[in-house]
Amino acid sequence: MAKVSDRYLTCRTCGNTFLYTVRAQRADRLAQRPQPAQCPGCLALDTLTVRHAGTLTRYNRSRGFGFIRDDDGQTVFVHASELGARRGMAPTMGTRLTYYVEQSERGPRACGVRPEEH
């Protein structure tokens, strides 16, 4: 295994450099997420104001969660309650959704999920 060390990345939004720690790199690798393109500050601002679009790619009804792959290829966790599963709606794979992203301790999480309007 290659040695991993802290790295500095450049934010695509503001142009500032930010630290990409070994811990964050390992967590992203385990979750199969790409390295961040934005600094934590810009990411927080975007996730509060930008509605994302993606496709429901995995859903485990018995465990009550799934994953949405956004149009940039990032995978976002989604809880069944955000999909309407507790109200009797059964999400189907391949459904196009829009949502906000909030950062949880385990990574990005979809909230305010709705079917995409055409």
CATH number assigned to the domain comprising residue 91: 2.40.50.140
How long, in residues, is the chain?
A: 118
Run of H or E including 91: none
Same domain as 92, residue 62: yes
Q: Is 37 helix (H, G, I), strand (E, B) or coil?
A: coil
Number of other residues whose CB lies within 10 A of the CB of residue 15 = 9
Does the pTM of the predicted model rise above 0.85? no
Same domain as 66, residue 111: yes
Our count of domains for the chain comes to 2
Same domain as 91, residue 69: yes
> Could you read off the pLDDT of 58-79 as tens digits, one per residue?
998 888 899 999 988 889 999 9
Give residue 66's domain range.
Answer: 51-115
> Could you read off the pLDDT of 15-41 as tens digits, one per residue?
899 999 999 999 999 988 899 988 998
Q: What's the count of helices (H) and strands (E) in the chain, helices before strands? A: 2, 7
